[in-house]
């Protein structure tokens, strides 16, 4: 429950927010200038502060440091105080509890910052217990090198206390670590404090520089959140301190914490440049949905092809050549690291056309095993008469052969040297000789149904569009799905390969057996968006970017979620969902 | 997880929790001690109202503090050094005294004028030191100038003190007050008596012709560096204002095994105070009537009061010098870059953001 904090944008667990003080503060940010401490109750009873809109007043507290045992934590837990000014409460990450504040400060951060697993446990525990729409603050622990990871984990506010103290100790901080000032021949920074000869740079300058460096890093992090690309940055930057790499890997292992907060679609690139990219929610989710929701509806042979650097694949030269040979006689599925296998119908679907990986032809064992596992699961779920593996030596071929060994299917290999070599393409043509072509209608229907499977759940394509004669209009990839009366049900969004429903489509969705994601709202008719306070209930399965039905006593609508279902329910501020179409009822 | 309630403080749940945790922590220890040997004994120099004396300090092993058996103070590991079983017989205690006299003979040219007896509990508690033993010890040291006896305020009574004053000894009762702030003593240290009990003990001592030396604890757990510093400045002033309290020994908390402080320290939630804080407090209270001294144990180590590692010995030396001469100008003689760090810690450290520097 908060009036003075609002989450404006999300990138996984990271959030761009606003502390709504008389001068608003864009978070994640340094809060030194706005935090006002009302004092510790360990020393004396503290009077209830008056508070004001200029500052975030820290309510009187009994801070429990790292290592405080449970009995003592319980006996000295701080009580809730109801105030009407912007307030922060201090809680321990070991026993966090809601106190009605706009922000929460964890009293034991010094104990867990520096330990990957400790940070993960503390954050997950605290986030679980505290309301989703309150700001999350760590005091006395931020440095330029760790702050991106702290924000990635879900922290909204930090301060410069530690950076200053380290500066006074002659530790020169940068976003790639720290160095003893005396060991530096040059100052690797151009901030105002560093605009002077090395030999004149002293203790006070080092303090100033550290604060500047922390401030700059927070700007970078905020920009990354706006761009939806904080994870790409973390995978590289966190490498500079091993505990930070451990920390984000710990969060990868805590899949549900990140998954519930990670959007299902984005409009921007996803850089897959490290072995950790394989464990990203977006990658894991794609592989999971392709192997547990998607169903192949073509009767043609499976043609496995290598991915292309150019996205969507069909725009690439190599896939153009494959396409010319296959000529609608095979179901083309691209093999790729790190996202696994991509059926042709899903080549636009996030992140299939958004990821960019580093192509050297060298595959790591992790990559091979991941793609092989996905392909194995894919073949378990989908029936094909034949499997034609049009894949080159090394990597691809190695993976297919691993799967081939345990598969009852006969795999046919058609590549001789390079996949686009004349001989290879000739082999592929020969393999497909005599196979029947599928038509445009079948292709387009299967595409929108495949996307529906992927987006809404297993069999959703048939549950939504199977029992009526649908028609597709428009030119791929801008397809419209219509019913037999010509009424539009949905549009395929080319930017991220998902369906956007119409009201008629939403009616069908609600009536179908496909699982729906519903935002229950109060008795009003939303226009443009639904704000969190208007949400009565929301499906737990809703993720940012999900297509959602909006339903209330006065309105029925369809739109795209801006936050996760649990956040819609817990939040008192912020846009819960955009509304595309609405009708009064 | 239990919900917080306003009754917590009043109904003593905090103390129950501290005691229960401390009992459990202490249960971890597995050391045994010989009841015929003192815990420790050493020869030193001390500043008293009667001047600077050579001193013989005795830590008697009396079976340990009664309060510590209930749980006890959050920073005190001395109970871990007491004998098993809880009581030590008169003969054994007198063997310990003999061992101390032997130590003195081997380490001094002539008998020390000042005798200091600590028990890590209360020397005046007859369950620790029976009346017979107390009188025998008074006889043993009756020819010295001055004697310091450690006791909680409850056990300070007229007749016990006259056992010593009757020999013509100057008597000081050493009381572990820890802080003049009742809230901090109770919730951070987990000591059960109040400042008013200390005032009463001072009055009793004075009537019996004895004086009181208050022992203060700088930076118990849960306090920031500034809160700890300010608490000491105020405590010293309040103690010095109490009639009968002529000396204040203000000692930085150190991290002892088998204590709550040790657990916080290990998990990153506690740092002993800076030596600069000790110096700062002594400097700020140099104007008080009482003698103010400090003896930072384990100075310079991670578990004791420390600065940056470069200047610890120099600052410690200034503190020891101040102890003997009470001249605050000694602190103007020491400087170090880490003073700026300490100032920042004083400015920036809060109990939800600590420790800021190791």
Cβ contacts of B272 within 8 Å, gap of 6 or more? B219, B252, B253, B254, B255, B302, B303, B304, B305, B306
- Do both A158 and A236 map to the same domain? yes
Residue B238 has pLDDT above 60, yes or no: yes
* Candidates B6, B183, B348; nearest CB to A165: B348
State pLDDT tens for residues B319-346. 999 999 999 999 999 999 999 999 999 9
State pLDDT tens for residues B48-107. 998 999 999 999 988 767 777 778 889 888 765 555 566 789 999 999 999 999 999 999
Residue B3 has pLDDT above 50, yes or no: no
Alpha-carbon span A65 to B217, nearest angstrom? 19
The mean per-residue pLDDT over the stretch A393-408 comes to 91
Residue B11: which pLDDT band, with cuts at 50, 70 and 90?
A: low
- Do both A238 and A335 map to the same domain? no
Q: Is B28 on the interface with A (CB under 8 A)?
A: no
Nearest chain B Cα distance for residue A162, angstroms = 6
- Please say which residue of A415, A432, A449 terminates a domain: A432
pLDDT of residue B31: 60
pLDDT of residue A480: 97
The mean per-residue pLDDT over the stretch A164-180 comes to 97
Nearest chain B Cα distance for residue A567, angstroms = 23
Region of A544 on the Ramachandran plot (φ > 0 left; ψ -120 to 50 alpha; else beta)? beta
- Do both A421 and A316 map to the same domain? yes
pLDDT of residue A406: 85
% of chain A exceeding 90 in pLDDT: 93
- Do both A412 and A492 map to the same domain? no
The mean per-residue pLDDT over the stretch A529-557 comes to 97
Are A72 and B260 a contacting pair at CB < 8 A?
yes
Assigned token pair, A496: 């991220």
Helix, strand, coil tally for chain A in percent (to 5): 35, 20, 45
Residue B1: which pLDDT band, with cuts at 50, 70 and 90?
A: very low
Residue B8: which pLDDT band, with cuts at 50, 70 and 90?
A: very low
Residue A1 has pLDDT above 80, yes or no: no
The mean per-residue pLDDT over the stretch B222-238 comes to 98
Q: Is A78 on the interface with B (CB under 8 A)?
A: yes
- CATH number, residue A309: 3.40.50.10630
Nearest chain B Cα distance for residue A41, angstroms = 9
Q: Decide which of B27 and B291 is more confident.
A: B291
**Nearest chain B residue to A37, by CA:** B350
Chain B partners within 8 Å of A62 (Cβ): 222
- Please say which residue of A253, A283, A310 terminates a domain: A253
- Do both A305 and A367 map to the same domain? yes
Highest mean predicted confidence (pLDDT) among A76-85, A287-296, B50-59 = A287-296
pLDDT of residue A2: 80
- CATH number, residue A57: 3.20.20.105
pLDDT of residue B9: 47
Nearest chain A Cα distance for residue B314, angstroms = 19
- Do both A240 and A274 map to the same domain? no
Mutual angle of helices B158-165 and B195-207, in 10-degree steps: 40
Residue A442 has pLDDT above 80, yes or no: yes
- What Rg do the C-alpha atoms of chain B give, in angstroms? 20
**Nearest chain B residue to A73, by CA:** B17
pLDDT of residue A275: 87
pLDDT of residue A402: 95
pLDDT of residue A510: 97
Q: Is B266 on the interface with A (CB under 8 A)?
A: yes
State pLDDT tens for residues B117-141. 998 889 999 988 999 999 999 999 9
| Strands lying side by side in the sheet with A302-306 | A340-343, A331-336, A302-306, A387-389, A411-413
- Do both A486 and A547 map to the same domain? yes
- Please say which residue of A397, A432, A467 terminates a domain: A432
Write out the residue range of the structural domain in which residue A336 sits: 270-432
Q: Is A205 on the interface with B (CB under 8 A)?
A: no
Cβ contacts of A455 within 8 Å, gap of 6 or more? A264, A498, A499, A547
Residue B255: which pLDDT band, with cuts at 50, 70 and 90?
A: very high
Are B187 and A42 a contacting pair at CB < 8 A?
yes
Q: Are the beta carbons of B76 and B274 closer than 8 angstroms?
A: no
Alpha-carbon span A265 to A197, nearest angstrom? 48
Q: Are the beta carbons of A95 and A74 closer than 8 angstroms?
A: yes
Per-domain boundaries in chain B: 7-348
pLDDT of residue B77: 80
pLDDT of residue A361: 80
Alpha-carbon span A270 to B269, nearest angstrom? 39
Are A140 and B224 a contacting pair at CB < 8 A?
no
Backbone angles phi, psi at A414, to 5 degrees: -120, -5
Residue B177 has pLDDT above 90, yes or no: yes
Are B265 and A109 a contacting pair at CB < 8 A?
no
* Candidates B6, B227, B357; nearest CB to A169: B357
Q: Are the beta carbons of B58 and B117 closer than 8 angstroms?
A: yes
* Domain membership flag for residue A552: yes
Residue B10: which pLDDT band, with cuts at 50, 70 and 90?
A: very low
Residue A550 has pLDDT above 70, yes or no: yes
Domain spanning B7-348, CATH architecture: Alpha-Beta Barrel (3.20)
For A94-108, A278-292, A404-418, B13-27, which range has the lowest pLDDT when averaged over its residues?
A: B13-27
Domain count, chain A: 3
Assigned token pair, B79: 């109970």
Q: Are the beta carbons of A372 and A402 closer than 8 angstroms?
A: yes
Write out the H or E segment, with its range, that includes residue A15.
Answer: strand A14-19
- Do both A344 and A393 map to the same domain? yes
* Domain membership flag for residue A330: yes
> Which pTM value belongs to this model?
0.93
pLDDT of residue B4: 38
Chain A partners within 8 Å of B268 (Cβ): 66-67, 110-112, 114
Chain B (8-27) residues lying within 8 Å, Cβ to Cβ, of chain A? 8, 13-14, 16-18, 20-21
pLDDT of residue A81: 86
- Do both A290 and A400 map to the same domain? yes
State pLDDT tens for residues A342-391. 999 999 999 999 999 888 888 899 999 999 999 999 999 999 999 999 99
Beta strands in A361-479 (DSSP E): 387-389, 411-413, 471-473
- CATH number, residue A561: 2.30.130.10
Q: Decide which of B233 and B39 is more confident.
A: B233
Complex confidence, ipTM: 0.91
pLDDT of residue A267: 83
Chain A partners within 8 Å of B263 (Cβ): 67, 69
Chain B partners within 8 Å of A44 (Cβ): 181, 183
Residue A212 has pLDDT above 80, yes or no: yes
Alpha-carbon span B222 to A107, nearest angstrom? 10
The mean per-residue pLDDT over the stretch A94-98 comes to 94
* Domain membership flag for residue A359: yes
Alpha-carbon span A312 to B23, nearest angstrom? 67
């Amino acid at each position: 429950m908060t009036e003075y904090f609002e989450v404006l944008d999300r990138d996984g667990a990271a959030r761009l927010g606003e502390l709504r003080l008389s001068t608003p503060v864009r978070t994640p940010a340094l809060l030194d200038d706005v935090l006002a401490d009302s004092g510790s109750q360990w020393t004396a009873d503290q009077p209830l502060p008056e508070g004001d809109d200029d500052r975030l007043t820290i309510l009187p507290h009994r801070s429990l440091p790292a290592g405080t045992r449970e009995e003592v934590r319980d006996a000295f837990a701080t009580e809730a105080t109801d105030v009407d000014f912007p307030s922060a409460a201090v809680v321990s990450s070991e026993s966090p509890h809601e106190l009605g504040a706009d922000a929460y400060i964890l009293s034991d951060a010094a104990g867990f910052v520096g330990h990957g697993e400790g940070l993960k446990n503390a954050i997950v525990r605290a986030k679980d217990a505290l309301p989703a729409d309150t700001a999350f603050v760590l005091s006395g622990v931020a440095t330029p090198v760790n702050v991106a990871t702290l924000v990635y984990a879900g922290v909204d506010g930090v301060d410069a206390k530690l950076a200053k103290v380290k500066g006074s100790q002659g530790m020169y901080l940068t976003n790639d670590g720290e160095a003893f000032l005396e060991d530096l021949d040059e100052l690797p920074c151009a901030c105002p404090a560093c605009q002077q000869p090395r030999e004149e740079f002293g203790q006070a300058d080092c303090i100033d520089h550290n604060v500047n460096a922390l401030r700059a890093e927070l700007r970078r992090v905020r920009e990354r959140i706006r761009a939806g690309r904080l994870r790409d940055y973390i995978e590289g930057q966190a490498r500079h301190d091993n505990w930070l790499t451990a920390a984000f890997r710990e969060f990868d292992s805590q899949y549900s914490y990140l998954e519930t907060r990670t959007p299902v679609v984005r409009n921007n690139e996803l850089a897959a440049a490290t072995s950790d990219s394989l464990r990203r929610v977006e990658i894991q989710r794609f592989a999971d949905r392709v192997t547990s929701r998607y169903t192949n509806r073509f009767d043609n042979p499976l043609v496995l092809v290598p991915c292309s650097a150019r996205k969507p694949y069909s725009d690439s030269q190599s896939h153009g050549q494959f396409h010319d040979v296959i000529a609608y006689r095979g179901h083309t599925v691209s093999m790729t690291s790190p996202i696994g296998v991509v059926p042709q119908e899903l080549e636009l679907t996030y992140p299939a056309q958004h990821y960019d990986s580093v192509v050297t032809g060298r595959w790591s064992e992790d990559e091979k095993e991941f793609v092989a596992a996905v392909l194995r699961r894919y073949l378990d779920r989908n029936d094909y008469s034949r499997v034609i593996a049009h894949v080159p030596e090394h990597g691809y071929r190695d993976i297919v052969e691993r799967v081939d060994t345990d598969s009852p299917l006969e795999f046919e290999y058609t590549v001789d040297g390079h996949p686009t070599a004349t001989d290879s393409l000739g082999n592929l043509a020969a393999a497909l000789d005599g196979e029947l072509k599928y038509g445009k209608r079948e292709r387009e229907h299967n595409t929108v149904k495949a996307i529906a499977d992927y987006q809404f759940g297993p069999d959703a394509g048939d549950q939504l569009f199977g029992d009526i004669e649908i028609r597709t209009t428009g030119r791929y990839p801008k397809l419209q799905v219509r019913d037999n009366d010509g009424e539009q049900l949905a549009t395929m969004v080319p930017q991220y390969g998902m369906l956007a429903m119409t009201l008629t489509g939403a009616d069908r969705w609600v009536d179908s057996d496909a699982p729906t994601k519903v935002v229950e709202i109060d008795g009003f008719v939303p226009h443009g968006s639904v704000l969190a306070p208007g949400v009565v209930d929301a499906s737990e399965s809703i993720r940012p970017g999900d297509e959602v039905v909006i339903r209330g006593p006065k309105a029925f609508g369809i739109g795209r979620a801006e936050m996760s279902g649990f956040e819609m329910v817990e939040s008192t501020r912020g846009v819960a969902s955009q509304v595309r179409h609405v009708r009064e009822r | 997880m239990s919900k917080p309630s306003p009754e917590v403080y009043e109904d003593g749940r905090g103390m129950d929790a501290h005691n229960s945790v401390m009992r459990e922590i202490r249960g971890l220890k597995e050391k045994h001690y010989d009841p015929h040997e003192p815990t420790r004994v050493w020869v030193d120099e001390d500043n008293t109202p009667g001047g600077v004396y050579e001193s013989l300090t005795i830590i008697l092993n009396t079976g340990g503090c009664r309060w510590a058996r209930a749980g006890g103070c959050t920073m005190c590991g001395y109970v871990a050094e007491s004998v098993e079983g809880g009581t030590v017989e008169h003969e054994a205690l007198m063997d310990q005294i003999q061992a101390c006299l032997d130590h003195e003979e081997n380490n001094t040219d002539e008998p020390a004028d000042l005798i200091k007896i600590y028990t890590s509990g209360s020397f005046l508690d007859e369950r620790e030191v029976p009346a017979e033993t107390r009188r025998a010890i008074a006889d043993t040291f009756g020819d010295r100038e001055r004697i310091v006896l450690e006791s909680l305020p409850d056990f300070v009574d007229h007749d016990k003190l006259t056992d010593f004053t009757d020999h013509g000894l100057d008597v000081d009762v050493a009381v572990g007050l820890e802080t003049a702030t009742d809230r901090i003593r109770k919730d951070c240290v987990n000591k059960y008596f109040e400042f008013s009990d200390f005032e009463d003990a001072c009055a009793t001592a004075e009537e019996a012709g004895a004086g009181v030396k208050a022992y203060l604890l700088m930076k118990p757990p849960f306090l920031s560096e500034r809160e700890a510093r300010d608490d000491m400045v105020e405590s010293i002033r309040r103690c010095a204002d109490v009639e009968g309290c002529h000396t204040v020994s203000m000692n930085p908390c150190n991290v002892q095994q088998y204590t709550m402080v040790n657990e916080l320290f290990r998990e990153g939630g506690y740092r002993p105070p800076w030596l600069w804080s000790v110096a700062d407090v002594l400097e700020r209270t140099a104007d008080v009537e009482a003698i103010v001294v400090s003896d930072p144990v384990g100075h310079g180590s991670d578990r004791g009061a420390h600065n940056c590692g470069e200047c610890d010995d120099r600052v410690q030396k200034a503190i020891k010098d101040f102890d003997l001469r009470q001249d605050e100008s000694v602190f103007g003689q020491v400087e170090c870059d880490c003073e700026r760090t300490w100032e920042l810690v004083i400015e920036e450290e809060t109990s939800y953001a600590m420790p800021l520097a190791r």
